[in-house]
Structure 1
Amino acid sequence: MSDAAQGSRVGSQFGRYYLKRLLGRGGMGEVYEAEDTVKERVVALKLLSPALCQDPVFRERLQREARTAGRLQEPHVVPVHDYGEIDGLLYLDMRLIQGTDLSAVLHESGALAPPRAVAIVRQAASALDAAHAAGVIHRDIKPENILITRDDFAYLVDFGIASATTDEKLTQAGSAVGTWKYAAPERFTNAEVTHSVDVYALACVLHECLTGSPPYRADSAGMLITAHLMEPIPHPSQLQPGIPNAFDEVIARGMAKDPKDRYTSAGELAQAANDALSARDQDRAGDIVERSEEATLPTQQIEQTTLPTQRLHPPASTPTPTPPPGPVPSPTPPPGRTPSPTPPPGVTPHPSAGPPYHHPGGAEPPRHTPPPPSGGPGWGGGAGHAGPAHPAGDGPRNAPTFTPHGSGGWPGHFGAAPPGVSPRRPMPRKRKPRPRRGVIAAVVVVAIGGLLLWWLLPSGATPPPPPTAEPTSSPPTPSTPPVSTPPAAETQAQLFSLLPPGYAPGSCNPIPPPKGAFAKVSCGPNADPDGPPSATYALFPNRAAVRAAFDRIVRTSATVDCPGRIQSPGPWHRNATPDQPSGMLLCGTHQGFPSVVWTNDDALLVSVVQTEPQGPTLDQLYSWWTSHS
């Protein structure tokens, strides 16, 4: 089928987008490779069908869930840059991914080897757990919605779109038989629909990866519905040689007719699938995941020290410590401004030196130019095939990027579990870690230990000498003294002490930190004039980690000059120290929302504040930043 056929919009202008090529077409609408002529980048643009655009329930749910999907900071979720309405049509602006969907992979190669099947399901489960923790049910898990790169890095697409098509059920008009092959029984009844429908569908996908065919095959929708409701769950070991018998139990529980009998999360299903492999195949699956991450996520080279999340509310008031000499903000906020949340007792707030301004004489920061994309289909959402894509500027196959904040899991781990579900541990690897990873981990532990000592000692204090061991009769053996990492409560308290004013007690709460960070909080609306509706603040161990996190955000943002034609990204400084840069500053659009991002190099802090469609504007947000950073 040519692009010009069947009413394609190829070659036309859709608002600020020039539609270059049709990538796919489905019941939900069409997906185009498009050039954003304002932001000068190539994206995947999904145009929803006119019938769905006229449905007020669909419109409301699409806006709510597209915003949620756009904020999911999980590497296996394709970012939603923007969404809205142009000429009466709803659209989604997504990153263009180099790869092909899992359905095409299965069509070309047939059943996958069990280690590869498990590796792909592990990655999809990580994305699902992150979505479920954010309250998003996908409702359309199927091979067409799992994109696979050349290095077997998996992306889950169409978040929130399937769930926006109807309230809950599939028995209404417009449902696709392709979706019914993976639909849980409760979707055809009056039972409550929960995140468990995604667990069921992922188990169906695992079955198809292992055997080459979905669990139930039928030519009519009625027969498929009956199969999901009534027919016994198939045993994959009886359908394909070489599949361990343990997978029969994994599929049986994942596809249980009663949701209460299923795995409680997608991550638990993936863990069970990994456990069903032999020790050797577990290593192979781990190698596939690790190789895909190393090829796709070049920043993930340092192991994360995970700190347990605690709900830590700053108290309403705490005695203010004596400020150091030099210009500092007034302890009494001006009229209309809410005081900053007070840190827990014993934590010294970081001193400020006055309103920040951009450093006009600063050096131009390094620009991040992604490598040229290689050939292969490009996708931003699954809707069928239309040949290879040639994206430019945003998201080449070998350099997808992600930001250091969010509620989702990280590569090789599962995201946060849905509410009320205890998260499972990451997959155990039975092989020894590679030597280079061990060296890096040792260096990181030593660095963290030194930083912890610096935090805990009072100003001017000298570290105590290490204790002397009692002599023993056995010859001494070289050993490395254990070094503890900063306790979660202390790092979170330190982070709370650095927050800008304007946050009421309880409006900022800890969330799991990204790799390389000590702590992170997510904040609701800032009560000061023109304050951001949402923000995240992350604390890092050193300036290199701060800059690496900032660079990742730069790579995933559409940058613009800050108000007043201030260079962005670029250094900024305070009035009191005009010749000393205080950190880096970025203005632009991040995950589809105007944002201001800055670092505080002395405080080892990365801050991301964002607006919403109803405001404030970028100019207003920047004005707030000049008095709050």
Structure 2
Amino acid sequence: MFAVGSLVAGYRIEQVLATGATGTVYRAKHPTLPRRDALKVLSADLSRDPAFRERFIREADIASLLDHPNIVSIYDRGEAEDGHLWIAMQYVAGTDAEAALQAGTMTAARAIRIAGEVAKALDYAHQRNVVHHDVKPGNVLLASGSHADEHVLLTDFGVARAAGSSHEPGRPDSDSTVAVTLAYAAPEVIAGDAIDRRADIYSLGCTLFRMLTGKQPFYTAEGTTAVARAHLYQTPPRVSDHLPGATRQLDVVVARALAKYPEDRFGSAREFAAAAAASAASLTGERPDPSSSRGGQARHGTTLSLDPLRRNVAERVRSVSEQIRSAHGPLRQVRERPVVVIWAVFAVLATISVILWAKLLWPPSSEPEGTSAATSPATTTSSATAGPAALVRLLPPGYSRGTCARVPTASDVTAAVSCGPNADPGGPTTSTYTLSRDLPALRKAFTDVVNRSAPVICPPNIQSPGPWRRNDSPTVVRGTLFCGVQAGQPIVAWTDEQKRLLGVARAQAPGAALDALYAWWSTHS
């Protein structure tokens, strides 16, 4: 460290602002201009290390190209006479989000506002193909001023890189990065996969959780291996468990930002920030802006719906070590029901069978007046336009004659039935099945079920809501699975996106257990 009064590349050191494993940041007087800059000086040992020199120079080069009110400006870089590498950057008089949290001045309203400002900086960087890669409260600077209008700036692009690049195990800069930022690192960063803007969105979600609750997302995990495992496999935490007054809607927003797979997160940082602000209106005392709340809608127009995952678990979530790999198998194993291939010559017989089964399954009293199974749109093959008879083909086995009855449908539903007890082991007491006209309607219906329930982890430790696959095609996500509790009784809800099917199974018998209902679903899905 340089003493106060020392000269470094012509800068006069006035104060030590921060120290870390890689170097020190000073407040320094500019050699010629009447201003103070922040001077970041790499330590002597690291200044001689080729890998760290490359990283340090990269920070200056990348950040110097970013010109945004919420990003700390880079003025210059160079090498001092004694070999120390340095970067001169904008000096921000104030504090940072982590220090404000430690000081007890981080209110919910302040946290939401800070996240919104950081989101602006991230979206600007992402539009220029730059991923910050190290978003955390300590890298969010807060200029002196009132909390309502303080200037928020994102700093430290020291580990920034171009979108699409990946962590390279074995490189000194890569290893140190994981060690320092593990509490806020996205699963793909930990796994060494290619990263893009959505890794920053995950880190911003972790940062907001920290600012709102005072805890890191997976604070109960002990040791780096446990923390890494939690990011890879554990269900995202709920703000409402730690912050009184937080809504379930806010929990869903944060859970989407912390989704294990990038494609299930928000499309942009500001979309996430807008959704969080709308969901936290009860905490901040502000009326949500209708135009802002639209930013919290899912990509298909359904508010706060969780899009299904799109990539293979084995390819997307590689474990940090063989210990993690051996301790945790695939996230989901579903036993496939046998698939019967019917030759085209039996097509006519199959159609007749479906019609007859529809007549047996639904009691005559449930038929709308003036219609019959023979005249219903059962012969339509498209699930988006199919009628009740097509829905019959999709029902799980175990329903006896007269168990299911048609129910009135909304404009975005082509068919719906309500069923009584399923006779198979562990089967639901009641259940409903609907065919939606399109994917937005399906996702909206699924989200409505989630919002009316208390979410729980699916047995044995399956993400909820989360994706589900079949063993015969493990790379294909069939839909989204949800385990929860309604009125004190367990439910399992799922979607099949290809068929536009939503199923909701409920176990309403006294003492009914989720394990049995889930086991029934896993063999009947």
What is the TM-score with the length of structure 1 in the denominator?
Answer: 0.42
Q: Which protein shows a greater Rg? A: 2
What is the TM-score with the length of structure 2 in the denominator?
Answer: 0.50
Q: Which has the higher contact order (CA 8 A, sep 6+)?
A: 1
Point out the structure with the larger helix share.
2
